[in-house]
Amino acid sequence: MQADASHQDSPARKPSGIIRRIREFTLLGRDPVLSISLLLSGIFIFVFVIFPLFRAVAGGFISKEGAWDVTYFARYFDDYYGPSLRKAFLDTMIMGLMTATAGTLVGFIFAYAVVRCRIPGKRIVHWLALVPTVSPPFALALSMILLFGRNGLISRKILGIEFVQGMNDVYGLDGLVIVQTITFFSVSYLILKAMLERLNPAIEEAAASLGAGRFHLFRTVTIPLLIPGIAGSFLLLFVESLADLGNPLFIAGNKTVLSSQIFLAVIGEYNFQKASALSFVLIIPTLVIFLVQRYYVNRRTYISVTGKPAGSQIIEKDPIIRWVVNTLAYLIIAFILLLYATIIYGSFSSAWGVDFTPTLKHWTMTLTRGVEAILDTTFLSALATPFAAILGMIIAWLVVRKKFTGKDALDFTSNLGGAVPGTILGIGFIMAFNKPPLALAIGIYALLALFFAQIVGKNAAERIIILVLGTAAGVLLTKIDPRMMYFCLGGMFILIAILIMISQRKYAKPLVAALIGLYVMSTNWANVISKPIADFSRSLERGFWSNAIVQFSDHLKVLIQPTPALLAIALIFAGVLLLQGVRIRGIRVGVGVLGLAVPCALSFLGIPFGMVGGAYIIMAAFIVRSLPASVRSGVAALQQIDPSIEEASNILGADAQYTFRKVTLPLILPALLAGLIFSFTRHMTSLSAIIFLVSAKWRIVTASILSEWEQGGVSIAAAYSTVIIIFVMIAIALLNLIVNKLFKGRGSVDMSQGF
Amino acid sequence: MYLSLENVTKIFPPRGGVSEVAAVQNVNLEIKKGELVTLLGPSGCGKTTTLRMIAGFEFPTSGKIILDGKGINSLPPHKREMSMVFQSYAIFPHLNVFENIAYGLVVQRIPKDQITKRVDKVLDLVHLEGYGDRAPTQLSGGQQQRVALARALVMEPKVLLMDEPLSNLDAKLREEMRTEIRRIQKEMNITSVYVTHDQIEAMTLSDRIVVMNQGLIEQIGTPVEMYRYPNNRFVANFIGRANFVSGIVQEQKEGKLTVKILDEVITLKNIKREFTVNEEVTLVVRPEMTRVKKKNEPFKGTIRRSVYLGDVIEYDVEVNGQLITGLESDPYIMELFAEGEQVKVGFAEGCIQVLPKEKIIT
C-alpha cells in the first residue's frame, strides 16, 4: 500500500517528498505492529480487490489472443446487436431509478412511522424492517413467484387468473422492481431514521413559531433538512439495484439487465471478454455514484446535521397523517411476513401450483443431497468470518488511529470490494486467479522479503545475506518433489525452534515455531488423516450422515492444506514476530535465512495464487464482500474511544500489546462480535460474487438454490432458502444473547452498522 | 538539571492538503527536580506538542530530551517512568476506580497487598476514600479528575505531565483543584510539567512559567518575573494587560531613566536594562500602574470610556492622541469621572518595564 501510493504520486512531487516518504517507510519498521497491519491489509486489498477488479474491467479491451479489441463496446452502436444491448442498458437504468425511488419512499414511511408516529410495536416493526437485509438475495423473488406467478397461490388458486400468452404477469420489470424495493428498502429506512432522529426539534419548532403551517413547514424545513439522507439513500439503492443478480435471474422474465447479461456471458457462452466489457459498462455508473455518495453526500450530511440524537422528538400531531403512515407501514410489514411465510410453506408443499398438500419429501432431499452444499457453505462462511472481522478491525484501527501516506486509499479500497457489483468481482476473481501472472507472486514476495530482512537483520550486511541466501534456498527447494519439500520446510521451522531455544532460553517462541513446522509438514498427512474418515462414511448407508462425514474430511483438508502462496504470506509475518530481537549474530542470520527460505519456496510452488476451484478463493470473495461492514462497525467503535485512553495505558507502563489486550480489546469487543455476525451473515447470503467460483467440490447453497430453480425444483429452492434464513437468525440471536449477557449496562451493539 | 530539552524541534509533515507545520522550534528548557513548570500559550502554540514529546507520544524531528542525565529520545512512553493527566481524563471506562488507579502498578507486577496499600494512600490524598469500587460513569467531573490525578500519582513518576487537566471543569471546581494539585505536588515533591492556556492557572500553580507562541519560547521565568518584567509585547499582553507607550531616552543614571513620552518628560525608577541617549523605547504600563486623578499628575487627558466594575473602575483615557487604559481601585472614596471629563494621568514610576523599541514591533 505504502510503496504503491508513493509510486503513483511520485511524478507530481518534489524529490524531497519522495525522500520523506522513504524515510516514513523505514520509520514504520520501528513499529512492527503498525507495519505488519499495514502490509497485511495492503496486500490483501491489492491482491483480492484491486487486482481482480482491474482484471475484470480491463479484460473487456483485450481479445483472447491478447490484442487490443473493443468489439463488445462497438456493438452498442451497431444495428445488429445495438438495439437489444441499448434496450438492456435502458432497462437496467429504469430498474435502478424505479427501485431507488420506491425504496426511498418505503424507507421514509417506515422511518417516519417509527420516529414520529409512535407506531405501536415500534421495536418489532424496526426489526422486521431489517429482515430483508439478512435473507438470501432472491428469497423474495422466489416467494413473489410462488404467490403471484402463473401457478401462484394467490394469482391462480385464489383469484383463479388464467395466464395466457402475452398477458401481463409478475415476470418483468414491474415484478422485479417490487421485489427489489422490498429487498433493499431497509438501507433507506436506516439512513432516514438516523437523520430524522438527529434533526434538532428546535429548528422545526422555530419554523412553527414563525408561523409556518404544518404542510408548509414539512415542505420548506423538514424535507430540505432530510435531503442529504434522501439523496444518499436514493444513490445507494440505485447501486444496490444495479448490482443485484439474484432477483433479475428469477423474476426478470424476458427482460435482461446488465448483471444478468454478465452472468449469461460467463455461464452460457463462457465468453470472458464480453462479460468484462459488460462489467465495464456496469461499473461506471456504480463507481460514479459510490464516489458522489462518499465525497459529496456524506460531507453534506455532516454539515447539515450534527450531534447525537436529540433528546426529545417531535411527534406527529395530525391523527390522519399518523394513521395513514402507520397503516402503510403495517401493510408492507404484512406483505413481507407473507413473503417469508410463503417460502417456508413452499418448502413443505407437494407440488406448488398443483398440489398444496404438505409433505416432507423436499426436506428429505435437501438434507441428504443438499447437505453437502449446506455444510460447505456454513463451514467456509464460518471459517472466513474471523478473518473478515479481524481484518476489518485492523483496517478500522489504521484508519481511525494512525497517520500514514495512503490512508485515504486504504479506506476507499477497503470499501470498494463491497460496493462494486458482486458479479464483477466474481469475474475478476476468475480472470485474476485462473492463471495469475508470476509478477504478482514475485512482487508480493519481494515486498515481504524486504520487510522481513529489515526487521530480522540488524545491519545492511546481515539483511543482504538473509535476502540473497534465503531466496536462493527457497527457489532451490521448489525444485524438489513437493511431498519431500513440505517435510524439508517443516523441518526448517523445527530447526528454527531449536536455534531460538539455544539463543534465548525461553519456551514460548520455540514452541510456536515447532508447531508451525508440524503444521507445514501435516500438509503431507492430509490424505492419511482424511481418508479413514471418508472410508468410514462410505461404509454408512447413503443419506444425511454419510454425506455430512465426507464433507467433514474435506473440511479438514482445507484447514491443513491452505493455498501455498497464502501460507507463505502468513509465514513471513509469523517469522517477523518470532525472529525479531535474536541476540547472537550467527544464529540471527541463520534463522533469518531459514525463516525466509520457507515462505520463498511456498510463494513459487506450482502456479502461485492459482486458486480457482478451491475453497480459499471462495473465502477470499466472502471476506472482500463483508469487509466494508466490519470496517464500518470497527470505525464506529474506535471513534467512540478517546485516543488518550490508549496513551494513558501506554504512559502508565504498558506496551502496545498489553494496552491492546487490556484496554482496546475489551472496549471494542461488542463491535468485534457484531463484525463477526455481520460477516457471517454476509457470507451465508452472498450469491453474485461467488456464483462463478463454486465448483463440483465446493458447493454453495445460494448457487444451489439457483440451479434447483432452473431445474424446476421450486420447493427444494424454498427449503434451501429457509435453511439460510434459519442459520442467519440463529447467528443474530446468538449475538444478541452474548452482548446482553456480557455487556449489560456497558455499551451495546448498534446492529444497523452492519448493513 | 533533572529534565532538559535541548534545541527540540518538531515538524509535522504535510498531509491531506495541510502544508508542513513547524509545531515546535528550537526549544531549550531546563527543569529542576521537584519543580512545577507551566507551558503557557494560546492554542496551536506548540505547548501540547512539547508535552507529548516529553511523554514520548511524539518524536522530536531534531534535538534532545534528557532525563536525569540520560537521553530518552528513543525511549517509548512506557519505559520513561512518567505519568500523565489528560485533558479528557482518559479514565478506562471498563474498570472501576480502584482498578483504574492500580492499572500501572498491575503492569509492573507489584504484589497485590502493596497495590492495595498504595492505591488507598492516593485515594486519601485526593479525598476519594471509599470510592474504590465505583464505576467511572458514577463519578462527577471533579471526581473523575481526581481519579485521573490519583492514577498518575500512584506511580510516583519521575515526571508528572498534565495536559490542561482542569479545562473541562466549571470555574469554581477549577479553582479548588488547582490549589489541590499544587498542594499534592509540593507534598510529594514531584517534578511536573503543566500545560495550560489559562494565565491565572499558570500564575497560581507554577514555580516557573514558559510562555510559548507559534512554536517558539517567548520567555521563561517565575510568575513574578513574568508579570513585572515581560520581555516582549506578546508576554506582556498574554499575562495580564498592558498599555504600550513609546518614548525617547533622555538620560540614564543609577537605575533611573528619564524618558520623553506623550510630550512630557518623566523619570522612571528600578530600571535594569542599559539604554543609550535618544534611543527609542517602549514602556509597558499595566492598567493598575496608572493613576487617573483630578490634578497633580503629569499628563493631561480626556476620559473616553468609563466602566464601573464594583471593585475597580476602568477608564480609557485619551492622552496626547493615544488611548491609555487605567484601573482605579477603591471607588468609594474616589471621585468617579464621567466620559468627556478632563483629568490628569500619572504612572507608578517604580513599576514600569522599559523595552527597546524593536522588541515591541513583533
Closest CA to A247 of A343, A173, A187: A173
The answer to whether residue B127 neighbours chain A at the CB level (below 8 Å) is no
For residue B174, the distance in angstroms to the closest alpha carbon of chain A comes to 21
- Measured CA to CA in angstroms, residue A730 lies from A135, A724, A725 at distances of 12, 10, 9
Q: Closest CB to B88: pick one of A642, A650, A662.
A: A642
For residue B203, the distance in angstroms to the closest alpha carbon of chain A comes to 27
Instruction: Inspect the interface and report whether the beta carbons of B57 and A644 lie closer than 8 Å.
Output: no
Q: How far apart are CA B217 and CA B201, in angstroms?
A: 19
- From A665, which residue of chain B is nearest by alpha-carbon distance? B94
In this structure, what are the phi and psi dihedrals at residue A634, rounded to the nearest 5 degrees? -70, -45
Instruction: Inspect the interface and report whether the beta carbons of B15 and A663 lie closer than 8 Å.
Output: no
Residues A339 and A379 in one domain: no
Residues A320 and A390 in one domain: no
Indicate the range of A196-200, A308-312, A341-345, B175-179 predicted with least confidence.
A308-312
Q: How far apart are CA A118 and CA A124, in angstroms?
A: 13
Give one word for A6, left, alpha or beta, with left for phi > 0 and alpha for psi -120 to 50: alpha
The answer to whether residue B16 neighbours chain A at the CB level (below 8 Å) is yes
Q: Is A433 exposed, middle or buried (0-12, 13-18, 19+ CB in 10 A)?
A: buried
Q: Closest CB to B77: pick one of A408, A642, A650.
A: A650
Q: How far apart are CA A99 and CA A248, in angstroms?
A: 13
Check pLDDT > 50 for residue A638.
yes
Kindly report, residue by residue over A600-632, the tens digit of the pLDDT: 888 888 778 878 878 889 999 999 998 988 888
Q: How far apart are CA A432 and CA A610, in angstroms?
A: 9
- From B90, which residue of chain A is nearest by alpha-carbon distance? A645
Instruction: Give me the residue spans of the domains in chain B.
Output: 3-237, 241-361
The total of other beta-carbon atoms located within 10 Å of residue A463's CB is 19
Q: How far apart are CA B53 and CA B212, in angstroms?
A: 15
Q: How far apart are CA A662 and CA B104, in angstroms?
A: 12
Instruction: Inspect the interface and report whether the beta carbons of B88 and A644 lie closer than 8 Å.
Output: yes
List the strands of the sheet with B62-67, edge to edge: B21-31, B3-12, B62-67, B70-71
Residues A447 and A555 in one domain: yes
Indicate whether A723 belongs to any domain. no
B337 secondary structure, DSSP code: P
Kindly report, residue by residue over B200-241, the tens digit of the pLDDT: 999 999 999 999 999 999 999 999 999 988 988 899 989 988
Indicate whether A719 belongs to any domain. no
Residue whose C-alpha cell reads 472614596 in the numeric block:
B333
Q: Closest CB to A651: pick one of B77, B91, B93.
A: B77
Instruction: Inspect the interface and report whether the beta carbons of A651 and B82 lie closer than 8 Å.
Output: yes
Identify the domain containing residue A413 by its residue range: 2-61+369-701
Residues A176 and A317 in one domain: yes
Residues A544 and A670 in one domain: yes
Cβ–Cβ < 8 Å for A620, A566 = no
Half-sphere exposure (CA, 13 Å, Cβ side) for B282? 19
Domain boundary among A656, A673, A701: A701
Cβ–Cβ < 8 Å for A178, A241 = no
What is the count of residue pairs from A and B with beta carbons less than 8 Å apart? 73
- From A746, which residue of chain B is nearest by alpha-carbon distance? B94
How is residue A661 written as a grid cell?
Answer: 489486550
The answer to whether residue B10 neighbours chain A at the CB level (below 8 Å) is no
Residues A50 and A127 in one domain: no
Indicate whether A10 belongs to any domain. yes
Kindly report, residue by residue over A538-564, the tens digit of the pLDDT: 787 777 777 788 888 888 888 877 888
Model's pTM, two decimal places?
0.82
Q: How far apart are CA A181 and CA A197, in angstroms?
A: 23
Q: How far apart are CA B43 and CA B41, in angstroms?
A: 7
Indicate whether A597 belongs to any domain. yes
pLDDT of residue B157: 92
How is residue A693 written as a grid cell?
Answer: 467460483
The answer to whether residue B77 neighbours chain A at the CB level (below 8 Å) is yes
Q: How far apart are CA A170 and CA A181, in angstroms?
A: 14
Kindly report, residue by residue over A24-53, the tens digit of the pLDDT: 566 555 667 778 888 889 999 999 999 999
Residues A47 and A114 in one domain: no
Residues in chain A with CB shorter than 8 Å from the CB of B57 are: 647, 650-651
Determine the residue type at A633.
S
Indicate whether A595 belongs to any domain. yes
The pLDDT of A109-127, averaged and rounded, is: 87
Residues A633 and A696 in one domain: yes
Domain boundary among A653, A671, A701: A701
Residues of A with CB under 8 A from a CB of B: 20, 24, 403, 405, 408, 642, 644-645, 647-655, 658, 662-663, 666-667, 746
Residues A400 and A433 in one domain: yes
Domain boundary among A325, A359, A393: A359
According to DSSP H, which parts of A370-437 are helical? 371-401, 407-419, 422-434
Biggest distance spanned by C-alpha atoms of chain B: 76
The CATH number of residue A155's host domain is: 1.10.3720
The rounded Cα A664 to chain-centroid distance in angstroms is: 25
Cβ–Cβ < 8 Å for A167, A89 = no
Indicate whether A733 belongs to any domain. no
| CATH 2.40.30.260, applies to B3-237 | no
Instruction: Inspect the interface and report whether the beta carbons of B57 and A658 lie closer than 8 Å.
Output: no
Homologous superfamily (CATH) for B241-361: Nucleic acid-binding proteins (2.40.50.140)
Instruction: Inspect the interface and report whether the beta carbons of B92 and A408 lie closer than 8 Å.
Output: no
Check pLDDT > 50 for residue A244.
yes
Q: Closest CB to B78: pick one of A408, A644, A654.
A: A654
Indicate whether A730 belongs to any domain. no
Q: How far apart are CA A139 and CA A180, in angstroms?
A: 11
Q: Report which of residues B229 and A65 the model is more confident about.
A: B229
Residues A175 and A293 in one domain: yes
Indicate whether A70 belongs to any domain. no
The answer to whether residue B12 neighbours chain A at the CB level (below 8 Å) is no
The answer to whether residue B87 neighbours chain A at the CB level (below 8 Å) is yes
Q: Name the domain count of chain A.
A: 2
Residues in chain A with CB shorter than 8 Å from the CB of B51 are: none
Residues A353 and A401 in one domain: no
Q: How far apart are CA A132 and CA A186, in angstroms?
A: 7
- Write the CB contacts of A534 (distance below 8 Å, at least 6 apart in sequence): A549, A550, A553
Residues A393 and A353 in one domain: no
The answer to whether residue B111 neighbours chain A at the CB level (below 8 Å) is no
State the pairing for strand pair B62-67/B208-213: unpaired
